[in-house]
Amino acid sequence: MASVACIGECMVELRQAQGGHSAGQSGGQGQGGGLYSRGFGGDTLNTAVYLARLEVKVDYLTALGDDALSDEMIAAWTAEGVGTRRVVRLPGKLPGLYMIQLDAKGERQFFHWRDSAAARLLMNLPETDELLNSLMSYDITYLSAITLSIYDAAGRERLFAAIKRARLLGTRFVFDTNFRARGWPDRDVAREVFAAAFAAADIVLTSTEDLLALYPGESPEQLMARIPTPELVFRLAEPVSLLRFPGGTSEVHAEPMTRPVADTTAAGDSFAAAYIAARLAGSDPVEAAQAGHRLASLVICYPGAIIPGYAMPPKKRHRPAPTRQATK
């Protein structure tokens, strides 16, 4: 079975509740007397969960504390089918925390408390070498720009070196440009790291929202030209993806929405999961992008990053995945 290593950070999530909170969730008074429900979330973790639901074997690579909240995260990931054997537990540390506020259109604003989170130490631990060497055993290594932003420069270099070694044995590197300016010291550093990721990647998943924040005023063609990777998915502001892949280009439109948008959280994360799952199952890039749009269009109709299991689309049979080949 094809396998994916997702690298990143999961945090404690506080979300504005709609008139209260459900059983099993803790809540409290926010500004203005609003109630908040507690959950867990993170961009690459969301992708890992959707990959598992799409029957892809996936492990999550991160660091957590030895606290009760970290225990709850491990239990939740296990229940979703996400592998936790690559999670490093650090005594005395805690996960980070973030709060989400939504506007009337379902757009979200994030507030983070993560400076001392355990995940930030993942590239600087006694276990790091073993963890990074394990990337060679996966078909795909997936991470985002948010993942790269939580490590220092030395940690990023260590990670990129391991990815390059793994690619020599056939592991493909998928980079998602999920960009959050607050995670970077300045945009020049972010642009430098993005360039390194683009140069190392086999597949890049990106969007105008991410890249215009780094390269303002450029056209989609100019932005795409900055990315040398052979396989590129470029999501526009409207529900359209521009694809570039060996042998061609294509424009893939999402099907018209038939339900109102409730929450755009994890739209890109779920798109990434469906795209990767379809490519691993033998679909071509156009079919994979269509699958990505279908799942993302469904996810944004529900509140929260992870939709109920019963709401997942019916499983679809794909062609057998291509044989894994080393990068020359």
Measured CA angle at 4 (ends 38, 284), to 5 deg = 115
Block residue for tokens 């033998």:
282
- Taking a C-beta distance cutoff of 8 angstroms, is the pair 57, 23 a contact? no
Measured CA angle at 199 (ends 194, 203), to 5 deg = 90
Q: How many CB atoms lie under 10 A from the CB of residue 26?
A: 10
Given the residues 59, 139, 176, 269, the one annotated as active site? 269
Residues 6+ apart with CB under 8 A from 300: 106, 261, 262, 263, 264, 267
List the 140-144 sheet strands across, edge first: 87-90, 57-65, 3-7, 140-144, 172-176, 203-207, 231-235, 240-245, 248-253
Spatial CA neighbour of 148 closest among 4, 7, 272? 7
**Hey, CA dihedral for 179, 6, 140, 160, is it positive or negative?**
positive
Rounded to whole angstroms, the Cα distance separating 268 from 212 reads: 16
Catalytic site includes residue 269: yes
Please name every residue paired with 249 in a beta bridge, in sequence order, or none if there are none. 244
**Hey, CA dihedral for 132, 134, 135, 140, is it positive or negative?**
negative
Block residue for tokens 């994360």:
269
Q: Which residues form the catalytic set? A: 269
